Structure 1
Amino acid sequence: MISGILTLLFGEGRNALRETAEVFRENAEAGAERSVSLHEQAMTQFGAEFLLPQKGMYDRFIDGLNRLPRPALALGTLAMFVAAMVDPLWFAERMQGIALVPEPLWWLLGVIVSFYFGARHQAKVQDLQREVASTVLRAPQVVANISALREMRADSPGAAGHGTDAEVAQSSVEHDANPALEDWRKLRRTS
């Protein structure tokens, strides 16, 4: 009989005690293996997000050109300030040359810069408008969800009642026949 019980608990390649304990407590080794597997999958996914498609030489060249105007304008403006402090006469000569640029050419430069930066600004504004529109479309559902949640509050009439709101409101102000509660109320009044 004892050998039968021991065979039941530990025999046939099984361990009934371990299997029973694993119902109540996670097997640490199996949990660690799952954790490692989950971590590897997450890192693989994150790594895949940063893989860029291979671009040709022409695409990389154009991308580089598209990134030049803003830094060139900023650094050029800073360079003019430096040049004005280092060699004021040289700077004054250059500014006299700029004073000779005809006004239509200044307008053309303004249009070019406005279109370049304006197009980027317009694209960003349109993205923002799309996000706002999708948010506004979700507003009625959010309002319905909020009102449904407010109806579930414990302090709202009818939250836990099975009858009509009037019946629940009336029953909330009526006293129940509760002898223990009545005794407690009497004790409080006397003390």
Structure 2
Amino acid sequence: MTNRIIFLLLIGSIVTGCSSSKRLNLWTKQSKVDEVKGFESKLNPDLKLLEKNVSLSESIFPKVKEFEMSNPLIVRREKTHLLPIYAEYFYSKPDSTLRYVSYDWENNRYGNYNNDQIKWESEAVKLNAYKTEYGRIKKQLVKQFGQPTKQSEEPVKTINDHGGPNFLFQNTTWETEEKLIKLNMIFGASTYRIRLNYYWK
């Protein structure tokens, strides 16, 4: 009987450990970028930083013209579920203060566009897997930020404004006095990704 109890406790601790490893590990504090780098280094001492020229538009970050923005700190986290994560931390140059954050669950985010056709074909059959991953992420965000202020329950067919093929789009929004937070999924039109982004007002 004692051995059975010990066995059940052991199984319980393993399950708990597995579920805790599924945490999103988000940085939500407006801080200096060095703090963010320290946070990512603790998640993975073998930190993979990408150097890319990436800018923000006013439609994405309405306050972008108020700051002299640096290229973001970009971290590629290894895949633990369906997709790897690209964490992008945008900050203002003079004071190194974090202004905008984007987490992208996406395969080969900065890959070669011309070589990605085979990848797109393989992703195009994974709608249910993407929906499940979106639901997993959203569930954790609800625990952290509360109920959304706006959401679509299922992916909605969306017309491509640029004349390309239509795609499926799903969106969830949280808005507080200090932050605007958006989780969305694009599935189709050569884009297969889940993105969480937020900025401080």
TM-score range, shorter chain: under 0.3
User: Which structure shows the higher helix fraction?
Assistant: 1
Larger radius of gyration: 1
TM norm structure 2: 0.17
TM norm structure 1: 0.18
